[in-house]
Structure 1
Amino acid sequence: MSPSWGGPGTFPQRYETGKRQLEAVFGVSVVEMAHTLADADWISANPRARADDLMAAFADPSIAGIFCTIGGDDSIRLLPYLDLAVIRDNPKVFLGFSDTTSLHLACFAAGLTSFYGPSIMAGFAENGGMHDYTADGVRRALFSTDPPGLVPVNSEGWTAERLDWGNPVLQGQRRVLQPADPVRVLQGKGIAQGHLLGGCAEVLEMVKGTAWWPSLDAWRGAILFIETSEEPPAPGLFHRWLRNYAAQGILGVLNGIVLARPDPEGDATYREKLEAALIAALAEAGLTDLPVLSGLDFGHTQPMLTLPYGVQARIDCGTGRMSILEAGVV
């Protein structure tokens, strides 16, 4: 379904590639909701129709999972039209990232474990075929009732290269991969454990103060996973957002933080600046011992992990590794 931007209507070839690769790799059958392929301007003007699609997908017993086609910047507009009882009473897989953060928090409020992972057009439609690392993450999280376990080291590399989605010739061209440097331990010692909660930093800002924003008790003992979009916010702005988390008391009740590898958008030093902003905000809050890992692959670069909301995870500052200790599906 298309709960945010109407990408399939704008780049149908890209959407069809993602649909085809999803079906081929995982053996599923994709069914579009009523407005999945609608014109992007119409999608933008009709948030209630998008919400109706989401509610219909949850309520339909023949649908096992809901995969978002792409992100955007306005899924927050769906929240007034969502019925959390429908989500709670019809548990199923819900997958997406970036702007989908708003809807993940609605699912979390309903008591559903949803999944922060690839979308149809960004991940499943990867140029030249899905990355093995992405496919493995989806398979571990969605297609097995075993805990995903130790997050694998990304040996494929990473990319944020822009290739024109409107050019079908480029769809078969692999994007250039950069070497994937190891995860960094920014601070902390030993092992920390907690439930996973977070998403895209810019979208979290939109959700703050709404009915779906998690209570302080919901953050207590959590591992905050946080990433930035392909329109990277200034590190100073990121710092100020984190000051709000401190003012709400959220930073003080966390058990740990994991920061994603960011899309640098041409600034080779952006990751270091983002890390410095995070460490500065924690220092201001007197949290210099809180365990923090940086550089995991769940952000706006590819390939990417799939992270289940609300399940227990462990970060090991000695090895710089994270493990997901519980399954997100039953």
Structure 2
Amino acid sequence: MTVISYPPKPSPGDRIAVVSPGAGLPGLFPRPFELGLERLRKDYELEPVEYPATRKMGSTPQERADDIHAAFADPGIKAVMASIGGDDQITVLPLLDRELIRANPKPFFGMSDNTNLLMLLRNAGIVGYHGATVMTALGRPGAMDPLTAESLRAALFTSGEYELEPAARWNDVDRDWADPATFEAEPETRPGAGWSWVKPDRVVEGRSWGGCLEIVGWLLMADREIPHDLSEFDGSVLLLETSEEMPSGTEVFRTLRNMGERGLLQRFSALLMGRAKTWSFDRPNGAEEAARYAAEQREAVLRAMEAYAPGTTIVFDVDFGHTSPQLVIPYGGLVRVDGPARRITVTY
């Protein structure tokens, strides 16, 4: 069983590395990136430090690995945050010096393609933080979402328990980062309906694992970062959410089915399913189409879980992942799911 520990926390005034382990999108869209850096400085009193590949589109896996090594090895850097995700971070994993990272544990914040690095850190015994990339969470037009801002502050600077809250309002419709008008006002939001609970008859607490479902599937196919002794996950809490690529209900079911066939789903005591992203530039769904897509995803999850892990407590529409707000979830850290009280508490 891997021994997992929380790394030391930064303090206001410290330096935080900003890296692009997936894609150098800050080079294409500087506006949300610069806004995110400004908020790190002004709102969180942290000094961001960039690296050679942070704004470089088309950087090689080795260049990105070098940046990660430099960030973790520098004793003056107290935390590391991804600029955004991508789609090929899996190619960086074999190049990473795990002993260097293990010897220099630091809080890492990221989601989406950064599921790769979060898994590696967990396997190295280091708690990471799922959520809060610079361009999406901190670079949100108008202002950060209050729930995102509060959970990020708690995750960055505090230890102990933190109770998550359902979003009163949320958004998953993107706006064009290349258009200056995008940043003149906050995104339009819609009312939240709270979390949806399935089999909420127990209280469970365990260490979290999972992340972006598509990335989890890729890692399973490549046999990367998945312990061969699956008892590692006994009693853990599974985190899953889907990206702006909006996999079909069929794809979601098949990925979960294959996880069940591997013996994974049965190990977890609870599943937190992130709110489904139902809109993209390629598929600008209206309200009815969006609701249909979310319902299909929910049905796919329920069908797979009923087949392989029928006793698992499931919570749908938790606000982490590719929608806004982005609650920060400790990855490999403790998560308590209290079904009777309808509460979710994380330990930062």
TM-score (norm 1): 0.93
User: Counterpart of 2:99?
Assistant: 85
Q: Please report how far the alpha carbon of residue 139 of structure 1 lies from its aligned counterpart in structure 2 after TM superposition.
A: 1.2
User: Counterpart of 1:189?
Assistant: 201
Contact kept, 8 Å, 1:196 with 1:308, in 2: the verdict is yes
User: Counterpart of 2:164?
Assistant: 151
* 1:197-221 Cα distance to aligned partner (Å, 9 max, x none): 1100000111114341234122221
User: Counterpart of 1:10?
Assistant: 28
- Which among 219, 225, 250 is matched to residue 207 of structure 1? 219
Q: Please report how far the alpha carbon of residue 248 of structure 1 lies from its aligned counterpart in structure 2 after TM superposition.
A: 1.3
Q: Please report how far the alpha carbon of residue 318 of structure 1 lies from its aligned counterpart in structure 2 after TM superposition.
A: 2.1
Q: Please report how far the alpha carbon of residue 93 of structure 1 lies from its aligned counterpart in structure 2 after TM superposition.
A: 1.1
Contact kept, 8 Å, 1:183 with 1:321, in 2: the verdict is no
| Aligned: 1:291 with 2:313 | yes
- Which among 312, 319, 326 is matched to residue 334 of structure 2? 312
* 1:286-323 Cα distance to aligned partner (Å, 9 max, x none): x3221111111002111110011122211122233211
How far apart in 1 are the matches of 2:38 and 2:334? Answer: 33
User: Counterpart of 1:270?
Assistant: 293
How far apart in 2 are the matches of 1:136 and 1:82? Answer: 32
Q: Which runs of 4+ in 1 moved over 4 A?
A: none
Contact kept, 8 Å, 2:166 with 2:318, in 1: the verdict is no
What SS does the corresponding residue of 2:190 show, helix, strand or coil?
Answer: coil
What SS does the corresponding residue of 1:26 show, helix, strand or coil?
Answer: coil
Against the structure 1 CA distance between its residues 214 and 137, is the aligned structure 2 distance closer, same or farther, given a 3 Å change threshold? farther
How far apart in 2 are the matches of 1:211 and 1:182? Answer: 35
How far apart in 1 are the matches of 2:184 and 2:45? Answer: 21
How far apart in 1 are the matches of 2:265 and 2:28? Answer: 40
How far apart in 1 are the matches of 2:74 and 2:211? Answer: 27
Paired residue total: 319
User: Counterpart of 2:50?
Assistant: 32
How far apart in 2 are the matches of 1:3 and 1:36? Answer: 8
Contact kept, 8 Å, 1:91 with 1:112, in 2: the verdict is yes
Alignment-mate amino acid for residue 205 of structure 2? Q
How far apart in 1 are the matches of 2:201 and 2:160? Answer: 28
Deviates more, 1:24-33 or 1:139-148: 139-148
User: Counterpart of 2:3?
Assistant: none
| RMSD of aligned Cα (Å) | 1.3
Alignment-mate amino acid for residue 317 of structure 1? G
Deviates more, 1:87-96 or 1:205-214: 205-214
Q: Please report how far the alpha carbon of residue 186 of structure 1 lies from its aligned counterpart in structure 2 after TM superposition.
A: 2.3
Alignment-mate amino acid for residue 74 of structure 1? D
How far apart in 2 are the matches of 1:109 and 1:34? Answer: 27
Contact kept, 8 Å, 2:195 with 2:315, in 1: the verdict is yes
User: Counterpart of 2:9?
Assistant: none
Contact kept, 8 Å, 1:195 with 1:313, in 2: the verdict is yes
- Which among 145, 150, 153 is matched to residue 136 of structure 1? 150
How far apart in 2 are the matches of 1:56 and 1:105? Answer: 19
TM-score (norm 2): 0.89
Against the structure 1 CA distance between its residues 202 and 175, is the aligned structure 2 distance closer, same or farther, given a 3 Å change threshold? same
How far apart in 2 are the matches of 1:214 and 1:8? Answer: 34
Alignment-mate amino acid for residue 212 of structure 1? E
Contact kept, 8 Å, 1:201 with 1:227, in 2: the verdict is yes
Alignment-mate amino acid for residue 312 of structure 1? L
**Unpaired segments ≥5 residues, structure 1:** none
- Which among 304, 322, 325 is matched to residue 303 of structure 1? 325
How far apart in 2 are the matches of 1:218 and 1:309? Answer: 14
Q: Which has the higher strand share?
A: 2
Alignment-mate amino acid for residue 17 of structure 1? L
How far apart in 2 are the matches of 1:58 and 1:321? Answer: 35
| Aligned: 1:282 with 2:305 | yes
User: Counterpart of 2:180?
Assistant: 168
Q: Please report how far the alpha carbon of residue 147 of structure 1 lies from its aligned counterpart in structure 2 after TM superposition.
A: 2.4
How far apart in 1 are the matches of 2:166 and 2:303? Answer: 28
- Which among 239, 244, 267 is matched to residue 253 of structure 2? 239
Contact kept, 8 Å, 2:80 with 2:109, in 1: the verdict is yes
How far apart in 2 are the matches of 1:289 and 1:14? Answer: 43
Q: Please report how far the alpha carbon of residue 146 of structure 1 lies from its aligned counterpart in structure 2 after TM superposition.
A: 2.5
Q: Please report how far the alpha carbon of residue 188 of structure 1 lies from its aligned counterpart in structure 2 after TM superposition.
A: 4.3
**Unpaired segments ≥5 residues, structure 2:** 1-18, 280-284
Contact kept, 8 Å, 1:184 with 1:320, in 2: the verdict is no
Alignment-mate amino acid for residue 187 of structure 1? K
How far apart in 2 are the matches of 1:158 and 1:86? Answer: 39
* 1:24-46 Cα distance to aligned partner (Å, 9 max, x none): 110100110122122x1x32xx1
Question: Superposition pairs for residues 213-228 of structure 1, below 5 Å?
Answer: 213-215=226-228, 216-228=230-242
> What's the % identity of the aligned pairs?
32
User: Counterpart of 1:103?
Assistant: 117
